[in-house]
Amino acid sequence: MKENWKEALFRNRVWKSIFRHGFPVNERLRSEAITGNLFLHVHPVKVYRETLEFPKTLGLGLISFYLFVILSITGVLLMFYYVPHVDRAYQDMKDLQFVVSFGVIIRNMHRWSAHAMIVVVFLHMCRVYYTASYREPREFNWVLGVFLLLLTLFLSLTGYLLPWDQLAYWAITIVSNLIGVAPLVGKKIRYMVLGGTIVGQNALIRFYVMHVIVLPFLALLLILVHFWRIRKDGGLARTDEAAEAAEEREGDPQGEELKSYGLMNLVEGKTPHVGQDPDRMVTAWPHLLVREATLFLFVMIVIMAMSILFDAPLEEMANSAITPNPAKAPWYFVGLQELLSWGNPIYGGILAPTAAVLALLFVPYLDRGQVGTAEWLHPTRRRAIIIFTVIAVAAIVLIFMGEYMRGPNWHLYWPWQKRPIH
Amino acid sequence: MDRRRFLNLLGWFASLGTIAGISWGSVRFMIPNILYEPPKAFKIGKPQDYPEGVTFLPEKKIFVVRSGEFLKVASAVCTHMGCTPHWVGEQKVWECPCHGSLFDEKGGVVKGPAPDPLPWYEAKIASDGRIFVDGRRIVPYTQSLTVKT
């Protein structure tokens, strides 16, 4: 009797024409729910229990993706009120802050998600490194990840200019001068990036187009390939993968990569893992999906709380005649600015970052180890772990120094020391 | 109502409530609170500036109609699709070029697809002697501004 509304809602022709199977109450329907859905079928029907354990991954990759989604949606909303013209941009930011309903929250969400995404993407990289999850066959996915890290940084950088306040204008002036330092091609690249010799209207529209179309499109593309690779690599890295692969190679003459099931009708020699440790796998619906949903909820709560409590900065309108002292790059590049101040800019500005990116790209190809995959900080990897940690900590220290220990004229101060009033 | 059902309902209430809240917030965000469009109430020249007959002010989209000591202001936006009618002195009508609507000197519809007459706007004299036109207030044809020449 009291279930009549369920009948009416879920058993009518309209609903059934959209959702063709019933609510997943058995294995078959759980399988159909995944394979029959455009959005859900990025997941496998079954996943290994081991990869669902939260401490293994801390869900950092998923969190990065959720932040990307939040950024895209809030970004589009902001686009309805923001015009990338030097005579309009700053006023539009003021409008969003004070006139548009919920404008301040949407803007805050966008800013804090952007900063959070850089931190989370970095932590995700650390997690993958510390668990050696980049090892064969996942080397290429790591490489994709490095490019995604760079895209994240450039997305943040291009967005940074758009408010057209003093913070934006001078930060980009500094970064563009850094680009100009590169030997031979530096000045030419700077000219192309700015659309001229100064940070002006041309720069603003170029940064805007990069920020709202080019870079998000590239990022989305790489994200999709990144997810695709996870599927093709047999899911997230597991501790017993190497052993299992060896076993498979012995038993199966074709010895190819592991899958939980194969295209039985099309590919010869592939059999589903029937009767082999069914314990080790669970259905994506509901076990994986409910974890994903909970994680998204968590991300939303944190971002919304930050957006309600803390306002994104907006300084005075960009003024080419007044340089703030000191003028700093955005925090994720201020470490580079710090490094630059130590000697010839070529070393800190060009050589060091290039070396860092190249080193990152080579990581999975230099590591041929088999032991310790998908385990945190395995003792056999001591040297690799120390090297990575030293570099990561150095990067963080540089950022800290640049942010909190540099005052007017780039003089060193302790964070608690009062800067001179000017 | 046992504990499971209660928590279940609480969960649904919270989830759907959150989605509803975010959706409403996003929609409300899209509705502007302040417009930077030209104002609907504005000042034009002094009554002496306008000759006898119909004077068209293109930027303000109005007609200033002076007959003797009486001055009125009519909208220059055709009530059909929004084109700008022009005054044809010989026939004493406003003719709209888009679909041929005709309005008489009182603004009434003589012919054409226009559904409503051309509205007349309130006109007053401001403290500096200029005419203050209020496009937000529509007045009957009988109401005029009386000017002393």
Q: Which of A77, A99, A300 sits opposite B26 (nearest CB)?
A: A77
Any A CB within 8 A of B4 CB: no
Q: Are residues A156 and A37 in the same domain?
A: no
Contact B25 A105 (CB under 8 A): yes
Residues A34 and A72 in one domain: no
- The DSSP code for A408 is G
ipTM of the complex in this document: 0.82
Torsion of CA A17, A21, A22, A26, to 10 degrees: 180
Residues B12 and B59 in one domain: no
Q: Is A377 left (phi over 0), alpha (psi -120 to 50) or beta?
A: left
Domain total for chain A?
2
Partner A contacted by B28 (CB < 8 A): yes
- Measuring CA to CA, how many Å separate A333 from each of A60, A198, A304, A339? 22, 20, 26, 10
Other CB atoms within 10 Å distance of the CB of residue A105? 18
Question: In this structure, are B85 and B118 located in the same domain?
Answer: yes
Minimum Cα–Cα distance from A107: chain B residue: B29
Co-location of B21 and B88 in the same domain: no
Q: Is B1 on the interface with A (CB under 8 A)?
A: no
- Domain assignment present for residue A22? The answer is yes
Shared-domain flag, residues A179 and A60? yes
Whether residues A108 and A153 share a domain: the answer is yes
Same domain, A137 and A281: yes
User: Where residue A375 sits, what CATH number does that domain have?
Assistant: 1.20.810.10
Per-block mean pLDDT, blocks of 10 residues, chain A (422 long): 79 89 86 89 90 94 98 98 97 96 97 97 97 93 97 97 96 90 89 96 97 98 96 88 66 52 44 56 91 94 96 94 90 90 82 92 92 91 94 95 91 87 66
* CB nearest B33 (choices: A100, A105, A106): A100
Domain that holds residue B128: 41-146
Q: Tokens standing for A328?
A: 């700093």
Q: How far is CA A36 from the centre of its chain?
A: 28
This model's pTM is above 0.90: no
Q: Cα separation of A98 and A89, whole Å? A: 14
Query: Residue A234's CB: how many other CB atoms inside 10 A?
Result: 20
CB A257 within 8 A of CB A136: no
DSSP A172-240: HHHHHHHHHTSTTTHHHHHHHHHTSSSSSHHHHHHHHHIIIIIHHHHHHHHHHHHHHHHHHTTSS--TT
B100, HSE (Cβ side, Cα atoms, 13 Å) = 2
CA dihedral A39, A43, A46, A47 (to 10 degrees): -140
| DSSP H or E run through B36 | none
Instruction: Check residue B133 and report its DSSP letter.
Output: E
The pLDDT value recorded for residue A269 is: 41
Is B8 inside any structural domain?
yes
Helix (H, G, I), strand (E, B) or coil at A321: coil
Same domain, residue pair B46 and B27: no
Confidence of residue B149 (pLDDT cuts 50, 70, 90): low
In 3D, which of A413, A404, A400 has the Cα closest to residue A335?
A: A400
d(CA B107, CA B65): 11
- Residues of A with a Cβ under 8 Å from any B Cβ are 77, 80, 95, 99-103, 105-106, 300
Q: Residue B29 and residue A99: Cβ atoms within 8 Å? A: no
* One-letter identity of residue B142: T
Whether B102 and B142 share a structural domain: yes
Q: Is residue B119, in this structure, part of any structural domain at all?
A: yes
Nearest-Cα residue of chain B relative to residue A96: B29
List the single residue in A101, A105, A106 with the smallest CB-CB distance to B31.
Answer: A101
- Does B33 contact A106 at a Cβ distance shorter than 8 Å? no
A113 lies in some domain = yes
- Burial code (b: 16+ CB inside 10 Å, e: under 16) for A389-410 equals eeeeeebeebbebbbeebbeee
Token pair belonging to A95:
């409008």
- Shared domain check, A71 and A32: no
B53 and B24: one domain?
Answer: no
Rg (CA), chain B: 25
Subunit contact A101:B29, Cβ cutoff 8 A:
yes
Same domain, A33 and A64: no
Examine the domain organization and report whether A396 and A301 are in the same domain.
yes
Run of H or E residues at B49: none
Give chain A's radius of gyration (CA, Å).
25
Collect all residues of chain B within an 8 Å Cβ-Cβ radius of residue A99. Answer: 33-34
Residue A275: what pLDDT? 43
